[in-house]
Structure formats: structure tokens, C-alpha cells
């Protein structure tokens, strides 16, 4: 006997940690599997796209260290894998050499403005999101020592120099 949506929520199955060996977990899994099987291929792709988009936004908003950097190409590679798109087919579709796509996916080459606009058109993931991840990574890679060079710049000094030149 299948549990209704209300029964799953009322019983706390969707709100508390569950034992994967429990009857409740098996019931929830059966329910979710049934819902997934009812989806069209287009709906499944939309879910995969949304999953990558959410991961990208979470990464962009997270505090990360140099060791935790994820390159834009990694997100693209994940997207291609989730949608079952072969890299050679994708490179051909973009009019790009497979070796250049491989460099992009591995982070040896940055996503250009042009490519980010193409990715937005294909996957409906904003071009600025791809580029923002690259910018964030570049900033994180700058060590504290490198950032120290810029601490000498202060508005107070700028304004005091301006007053000296006026007077």
C-alpha cells in the first residue's frame, strides 16, 4: 500500500533524518521513484540543469579557500555528464576543437565571454554566472601577501593629496 503525500509529511518522513533500512524510507523511495518515472525526458533535463545552476550559485556564495576552488569548466563537465552529452559531440556543435574543449573543461582555458553567452543560450544558465565563478576563483587565488600591496590605497590619503594640490 502506497503512502499519500500527506501521510509522508504527517509522519515526519520528509522532515527528520531517516534510517535507510526502515519501512518508512522504503516507502518514501518507492514514492519518489514513481514520480521520477512519470517525468518526461525534457523534465528530467530541466531538473539536471537546475541542479547544476543551484550548485553554481551555492559555490559562488560560499566562503572557500584555495584548496576548495572549483573551476567553471568543472561545472560544465558535470552538466555534460548529467545530460549524457559526449564531449566530442559538444565540441563539434560549438565549432570548437575537442582539444580546446578539453582544456576548457579541465580549467586550463577560461570560458570566454562569447562561450559564456553560448552556454547561456543552450543551458539557460546565465553567462555572468560562469564568468563570476572565474572571477571569484581568481580573487581567492590571490594570496594575502598579494592583497597586502593594495592596503596602501586609502580614500583619506587621496583626499589629503587633493587638498594639498588645491592649496
Task: Please write the tens of the pLDDT for every residue from 40-62.
Answer: 989 989 989 999 999 999 999 99
Calculate mean pLDDT across residues 130-151.
87
Task: Please write the tens of the pLDDT for every residue from 99-130.
Answer: 999 999 999 999 999 999 999 999 999 999 99
Q: How many domains does the chain have?
A: 2
Task: Judge if 73 and 127 occupy the same domain.
Answer: yes
pLDDT at 36 (0 to 100): 75
Task: Please write the tens of the pLDDT for every residue from 59-78.
Answer: 999 998 888 999 999 999 99
Element at 118 (helix H, strand E):
helix 113-123
Task: Judge if 47 and 124 occupy the same domain.
Answer: yes
Q: By the 8 A CB rule, do 100 and 109 touch?
A: yes
Buried/exposed 83-113: b ≥16 CB within 10 Å, e otherwise: eeeeeeebbeeeebeeeebbebbebebbbee
The three cell numbers locating residue 76: 560544465
CA dihedral 124, 126, 131, 134 (to 10 degrees): -70
pTM strictly above 0.85:
no
pLDDT at 71 (0 to 100): 95
Best-predicted range by mean pLDDT among 19-28, 35-44, 106-115? 106-115
For residues 101 and 89, what is the distance between their CA atoms, to the nearest angstrom? 11
Question: Whole domain around residue 111: which residue ranges?
Answer: 41-149
- Residue 93 is assigned to a structural domain of this protein: yes
- Residue 15 is assigned to a structural domain of this protein: yes
Calculate mean pLDDT across residues 23-41.
80
CATH number for 81? 1.10.260.40
Task: Judge if 58 and 136 occupy the same domain.
Answer: yes
Amino acid at each position: 500500500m502506497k503512502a499519500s503525500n500527506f501521510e509522508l509529511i504527517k509522519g515526519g518522513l520528509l522532515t527528520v533524518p531517516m534510517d535507510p533500512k526502515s519501512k518508512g524510507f522504503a516507502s518514501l523511495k518507492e514514492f519518489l521513484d514513481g514520480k521520477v518515472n512519470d517525468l518526461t525526458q525534457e523534465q528530467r533535463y530541466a531538473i539536471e540543469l537546475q541542479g547544476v545552476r543551484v550548485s553554481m550559485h551555492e559555490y559562488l556564495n560560499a566562503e572557500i579557500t584555495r584548496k576548495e576552488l572549483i573551476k567553471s569548466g568543472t561545472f560544465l563537465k558535470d552538466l555534460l555528464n548529467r545530460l549524457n552529452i559526449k564531449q566530442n559531440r559538444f565540441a563539434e556543435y560549438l565549432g570548437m576543437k575537442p582539444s580546446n574543449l578539453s582544456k576548457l573543461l579541465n580549467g586550463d582555458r577560461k570560458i570566454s565571454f562569447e562561450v559564456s553567452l553560448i552556454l547561456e543560450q543552450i543551458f539557460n544558465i546565465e553567462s555572468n554566472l560562469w564568468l563570476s565563478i572565474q572571477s571569484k576563483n581568481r580573487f581567492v587565488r590571490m594570496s594575502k601577501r598579494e592583497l597586502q600591496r593594495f592596503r596602501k590605497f586609502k580614500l583619506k590619503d587621496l583626499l589629503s593629496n587633493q587638498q594639498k594640490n588645491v592649496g
